[in-house]
A and B are shown apart, each in its own frame.
Chain A
Amino acid sequence: MKALQARQWQSVCTRADLVANAGICALVGDQQVAIFYLPRLSPSLYAIANWDPIGRANVLYRGLVTDIGGGPSVASPLYKQHFSLVTGVCLEDDSVAVPVFEIALDGDTVVIGG
């Protein structure tokens, strides 16, 4: 489920807050967003909703990053279902997906597409 073309960009944190090969979490309005920084890839930044729809908790930013299934994905820390960081689709059950957000680096600031 891809987000619509962004019209607004929200600053959430600085480059220094990013953790290589792991996730952090930012609050964008009421939305919890899981942000992943994968320096081996290009693009290196990915953002999906933090809520795990299967495990039912706000924890996806804490999961392990993998490349199972081709592109980058995160394994939920609860029950290890994989969510694509590109499309948000669950690799174990494609009827389940999480929202994906646009993300970019504006100088030293990380911004999320509104």
Chain B
Amino acid sequence: MATQRSRQKILVIGNGMVGHHYVDQLLQRQLDVEITVLGAEPRPAYDRVHLSDFFAGKKPEDLALTTREFYAQHGVKAHFGDGVARIDRDAKTVTTEAGLHYSYDKLVLATGSYPFVPPIPGGERDNCLTYRTIDDLGAIKAQAAKSRIGVVVGGGLLGLECANALKNLGLEAHVVEFAPGLMGVQLDDGGSRMLRRKIEALGVFVHTGKATREIVDGQGTRLRMNFADDTHLDTDMIVFSAGIRPYDQLARDCGLEVGARGGVVVDYHCRTSDSDIYAIGECASFGNFIYGLVAPGYRMAETAVSQLGEDKSAFHGADMSTKLKLLGVDVGSIGDAHGRAAGALSYVYCDERDEIYKRINVSADGKTLLGAVLVGDCAAYDTLLQYFLNGIELPEAPESLILPSIEGGAPQLGPAALPLAATLCSCHNVSKGAVIEAIDGGCCSLGEVKSATRASTGCGGCSALLKSVVDYELEARGVSVDRSLCVHFAYTRQELFHLCKVEQIKTFDQLLDKHGKGLGCEICKPAAASILASLWNDYVLETPHVGLQDTNDTFLANMQKDGTYSIVPRIAGGEITPEKLVVLGQVGLKYNLYTKITGGQRIDLFGARVDQLPAIWKELVAAGFETGHAYGKALRTVKSCVGSSWCRYGVQDSVAMAIHIENRYKGLRSPHKLKSAVSGCTRECAEAQSKDFGVIATDRGWNLYVCGNGGMKPRHADLFATDLDDETLIRYIDRFLMFYVATADRLQRTSVWLDNLEGGIDYLRQVVIDDSLGICDELEARMAAVVGSYQCEWKTTIESPERLKRFRQFVNAPDARDETIVFVEERGQIRPANDEERRELIAVHQVA
């Protein structure tokens, strides 16, 4: 009997973030393996790092990293809610708690860790909880609902996250820490003290140097914690977040080597003492160290996957530097934060007024950065990290890296000093080499490099660094990116906008005479027309402007392939009365137009000859319609879902707000079209998150999203501000739109504009919300002027016989028609005849 070559069986125990990453990476390699996953938790892998988002309204599904369907589709056998009880290394099988058996060729332990609960008498009560899994959160939420005070035991990363969660649940939040200071692993004493000061200012109570002796019944509260120093703290609930311990019992039981401090010992291939068994993530011990961050766990998973293929990589430990926001406080830690290395020297900057603490630890010879601590200001983090990771020689006066701006400014780490392997963007693991590759591959702007490499599209913290590298490399290649608008104007659109504003330039001729040359072209004329319209809001077909307008604007209608036009009256918010619907139907019938409903929730009428436009619009205007600006680089539509007026789920009146917004900004001319939407609840039926600016109702007001778009390269909008009242919402939109209008490039959508904005969304918030440039009054005034000078340009057109003359096909034969416009019937309506149909029809016509 011939033996069939069977596929290698890979069994993964544990489906946390690292366990799933292993499976995901293995699937991408497309090796001939059979993968089985066993998870003890009842659900597939989810983002444990963002667990506290659960309290901000997210559901378990929102945190999910994968689904049962995904595994099924990719042929991965997955079994959840049943932990492994025992490994038989000789038989190469495992047995689960429920008694199921699985065999393996290679086994991967990704069992992770569990929260350490100090053995305190009274700590086993049911109002003493842990903070680790989604199920834990359910319990915390339930307990918090009947509590006034909450205590977190543990003042590390997770503990502070948990304290934030309790605070958001409305509790008086306390942190109890055994050590003398918070985050003792990542921060030195000074940093720790500053962090405490800032957290206390936020209303969280901090108790350090407290060892809990026992937990007993409280008086007036449910519990009382008695400390070793004879003080006590009253509370209603306790959450333990005092450290993690690896789940290594399976390894111990089957005789695998285990570290002195726990964890399954692995080599640099992530192999345990059994060559067929690997361990990755928090259950593993490498060099007697357990890596408690997810990024090193991912690197270990990738290393373990590579052992199955040809190209085996190695794990040599991972950097534990981290930058994060805790309870709103910026905290950064790099390398040896405490300066413990022999001979290390440190520089410390501490500003108690602005609550900023910065420390760097350097080698005895002053040349190498060994570590750093940042609290309250992490601006220097990227630069310091590059020095640390790449061993770049520090400047003469290293303190300049952390001191505030002084004469001459702080030395910048020149992009040239960074080696190719330097990681510029840690969210997406993009090296300087990858950025150079993108540039050599044709990218010649910051936005293009971001698109190609994904750098700076995660947290955005590396944007300044990325820009300096991109600018440097472009210049080094002799690429002087000419940002002139066109051959007629040696300025960018932003510069021309500024010139027109400041010099009060009102016509293209004036602009050409003062700052341009030649006649102009199809690039600068419409751009100038848009700038002039944004600034002065004249009727766009006014004599000096008529020759500037592009294909559609020039006849206030959308030209179709045969030279006829489509007509789109405005239907604000997508709401229309039956009477008005009837009018549109009647106009469609009378002029034999093709009608269609648009994605923008309005109605489009096709097949009008240029000379029919006035008559059609006369009827529409008489019935109360206005132009919909479908032809312009202007506000198009503000979609809506039906909201609280009718919908069971709506929490605000989204239709009213959509109509209000659309009526406010209609007529605004902009660098590119603007689309918006307002949704009445988180179900988001109006698709606001794919809009230039979108609004989603919350029970406390409106969330504003910006810089999304659909089209060829869809982009999700970014959350800009939350729970705004009506007035603030409009104020921010006013400012946002006018800032975009003033500074964007020609034909630059808001998404691309944001991508190219140095400092990204944070900078945008500073400008719009904090008024960091001091221009908000001006932006609002300019918007008010535009809103106040609105005219429906079709109404203006039909009221003037002089302006109507524009809409003749023939100046010398007003009754003659363009014979080449021919329609055929399809699905009960007209459509333009194609060439063949046209030939046949003309032939028939000639014979007749």
Contacts and interface: CB of A to CB of B under 8 A. Distances in A.
Interface string A37-66: 010110000000001000111110011111
A13 to B, nearest CB: 4
B521 A68 contact: yes
Contacts of A113: none
B820 A64 contact: no
Nearest to B813: A27
A12 B811 contact: yes
B807 to A, nearest CB: 11
A104 interface: no
A100 B808 CA distance: 22
A78 B551 contact: yes
Interface string B497-533: 0000000000000000000001111100110000000
A57 B551 CA distance: 13
Contacts of B526: 64
A106 B714 CA distance: 56
Interface in A1-35: 12-13, 17, 19-22, 24-27, 32
B24 interface: no
Interface string B520-551: 11100110000000000000000100111111
Contact of B559 (A12, A25, A77): A77
A75 B525 CA distance: 12
A57 B813 CA distance: 19
A56 B554 CA distance: 20
Contact of B519 (A58, A62, A63, A72): A72
Interface residues of B, number: 34
A51 B563 CA distance: 10
A27 B809 CA distance: 9
Interface residues of A, number: 33
B812 A26 contact: yes
A78 B563 CA distance: 8
B116 interface: no
A25 B526 CA distance: 22
Nearest to B554: A62
A75 to B, nearest CB: 4
B811 A64 contact: no
Contacts of B519: 21, 38, 40-41, 65-67, 72
B843 interface: no
A78 B543 contact: no
B551 A62 contact: yes
Contact of A24 (B487, B548, B549, B811): B811
B172 interface: no
A21 B555 CA distance: 15
Residue in B546, B548, B818 whose Cβ sees the most chain A Cβ within 10 Å: B818
A27 B547 contact: no
Residue in B520, B810, B816, B818 whose Cβ sees the most chain A Cβ within 10 Å: B810
Given A67-B519, A75-B521, A21 B562 contact: no
A25 B835 CA distance: 24
A46 B651 CA distance: 62
Contact of A20 (B547, B610, B808, B818): B547
Nearest to A74: B522
8 contacts: A19-B543, A21-B547, A58-B818, A64-B521, A65-B519, A75-B522, A77-B551, A78-B561
- Listed from nearest, the 4 A-B pairs whose CB atoms lie closest are A21-B547, A57-B563, A66-B521, A77-B551
